[in-house]
Chain A
Amino acid sequence: MALDSPQSKNETTARQKWMSLLAGARKERLDALFPRDRRPSFTYLRKPETGLVMLRGRQGGTGSPFNVGEATLTRCSIRLANGTVGHAFVMGRSHEHAVSAAVCDALLQGAENAQLTEAVITPLAHERAERERQMALKNAATKVDFFTMVRGDVD
């Protein structure tokens, strides 16, 4: 499969951001924000298919890599009628999630970027940040406050 047209660093960064949000979204949520009937017509370059990715870690957390174990990964590539190609690589086994993510990836590269960013990407980004904030607040309550016991009163 041919590489996409060369992109500037900034475009790659924006694309990495939306691909991350699309992959990390719960599939029910992505369905709600981008219902299937909103998909424009497209052709499959690669129909959704599920395989594995070997996850790597680092010895001692920061040292040389080692293979930890695998995870399921679903991929899909599509082409819009205007020729734009969209890709999706999404952990898990949901084909529909990968199709929606690939279609969004293609649309976000074109004229519909602003509209789709507002409808899908911005809400996903807010929800991710809010979920992380809620998690951090709950965990903050479990932070230990040490105090030193005073032995008797010293006058």
Chain B
Amino acid sequence: MYVAVKGGEKAIDAAHRLLGEERRGNPDIPEITTTQIGEQLTLAVDRVMTEGSLYDRELAAVAIKQARGDLIEAIFLIRASRTTLPRYGYSTPIETSDMLIRRRISAAFKDMPGGQILGPTFDYTHRLLEFEASETPAAPVETGPADLDRTMPRVLDLIGAEGLIEAASSTSGEPGDLTREPLAFPADRDLRLQSLVRGDEGFLLALGYSTQRGYGRSHPFAGEIRYGEVAVSFTPEELGFEIEIGAIDITECEMINQFKGSAGVPPQFTRGYGLSFGQCERKAMSMALVDRALRVRELDEEQTAPAQDEEFVLSHADNVQATGFVEHLKLPHYVDFQAELELLRRLRREAQGLDQEAAE
């Protein structure tokens, strides 16, 4: 219970001015610009867009600067900003098969058509601090002997053709939208995926890790991870035909997991799917593990682990909700606390009274 308290306004104003000064840091050092953040802290921007659930690099960069680099605070700012804007409609589903590939790897097949394209990655770096890297210009980038194919076949289709993996789901009807209707359980996969995309990377990473360590094992292989650019199309009412309105960078992870079969269907590999804005690869991989774990009902598996419990996972994945509830503990609870204090004193008095009675 909260009680309106007056008298803090001056202190709050002063605290916000102090915050502004701290955010700026030493005024002798040049101020960073949001353009610099957008160009050079790209993966922070990608995370804020993914979990803020809003693709806009400039807004994400502004939020990161305003939040002093606290990404959850920045995500909160983006979510708040989004509520001020009207919704014009839904895009045509993006076609990741037509992605302009910047990175594409498979841990399941070495020689697949199109090849392994490493792209811009931290993989295989030595994780040694490079003090010079911040001061010297980057070495010129090499170019290949020939262009890559613009698009590449999907790795899972290679085994899908033989029926060795289940088909990607095809249900009919409009997908659910948790920004319109609050999430209810049990939730179908469309809503689970929407919820996981905006879910906290750290939380999903830990849950994905737990499935690998045996809490709801699903024996995954990274069938394909691809990162690149896809066009976004939209059909405005006043035109009546579809047009491209821009392009987005996106990372997709398809996990191949162990078999499922039944009396009618011979055993097949099963799928887990992850998607993120930008190059949030760790997030897309974690999401694919958790998506697969959450398919227990659908695949008629026994639910034994936290990562398989959709109500537990989806109710706690959103870091804006989580931080709101955890951080609200900072707000004045003076009356609540006074009530508990009174209760405790009374209980102690009673207990002492009983002790005295017993002693007499």
* A interface residues (Cβ-Cβ under 8 A, vs B): 1, 3-4, 12, 16, 19-20, 23-24, 50-73, 75, 77, 87, 89-93, 132-144, 146
Whether the Cβ atoms of B91 and A53 lie closer than 8 Å is yes
Apart from A54-B177, A89-B234, A141-B141, what are 10 other A-B pairs with CB-CB below 8 Å?
A16-B241, A19-B244, A55-B94, A62-B97, A63-B169, A70-B53, A71-B232, A90-B246, A136-B150, A146-B111
Whether the Cβ atoms of A139 and B148 lie closer than 8 Å is yes
Find A132's partner among B90, B93, B100, B244 (CB 8 Å cutoff): B100
Chain A residues near B231 (CB-CB < 8 A)? 20
Bound-complex Cα distance A31 to B254 (A) = 41
Bound-complex Cα distance A87 to B54 (A) = 24
Residue from B82, B93, B234 with most neighbouring chain A CB atoms (10 Å): B93
Asked if B236 is an interface residue, CB under 8 A from chain A, the answer is yes
In the assembled complex, the CB of A75 is this many whole angstroms from the nearest CB of chain B, namely: 7
Known: A87-B236, A93-B56. A66 touches B97 (CB 8 A): no
Bound-complex Cα distance A52 to B248 (A) = 14
Find B90's partner among A53, A87, A133 (CB 8 Å cutoff): A53
Known: A51-B87, A87-B239, A136-B150. A56 touches B244 (CB 8 A): no
Interface size on B (CB < 8 Å)? 84
Chain B residues near A51 (CB-CB < 8 A)? 85-88
* B interface residues (Cβ-Cβ under 8 A, vs A): 49-50, 53-56, 58-59, 82, 85-97, 100-103, 110-111, 115-119, 141-148, 150, 154, 156, 167-172, 175-179, 189-191, 193-194, 197-198, 231-232, 234, 236-248, 252, 254, 271, 273, 275, 277
In the assembled complex, the CB of B228 is this many whole angstroms from the nearest CB of chain A, namely: 9
Whether the Cβ atoms of B85 and A66 lie closer than 8 Å is no
Instruction: Give 9 A-B contacts (CB < 8 Å), ordered by A residue.
Output: A1-B238, A20-B243, A23-B245, A60-B167, A60-B168, A66-B190, A70-B55, A72-B85, A141-B141
Bound-complex Cα distance A84 to B301 (A) = 60
Bound-complex Cα distance A51 to B245 (A) = 13
Known: A55-B232, A72-B56. A19 touches B243 (CB 8 A): yes
Q: Which residue of A lies closest to B102 (CB)?
A: A139
In the assembled complex, the CB of B280 is this many whole angstroms from the nearest CB of chain A, namely: 12
Known: A16-B241, A16-B243, A143-B117. A58 touches B143 (CB 8 A): no
Bound-complex Cα distance A63 to B59 (A) = 31
Whether the Cβ atoms of A58 and B168 lie closer than 8 Å is yes
Whether the Cβ atoms of A135 and B100 lie closer than 8 Å is yes
In the assembled complex, the CB of B108 is this many whole angstroms from the nearest CB of chain A, namely: 15
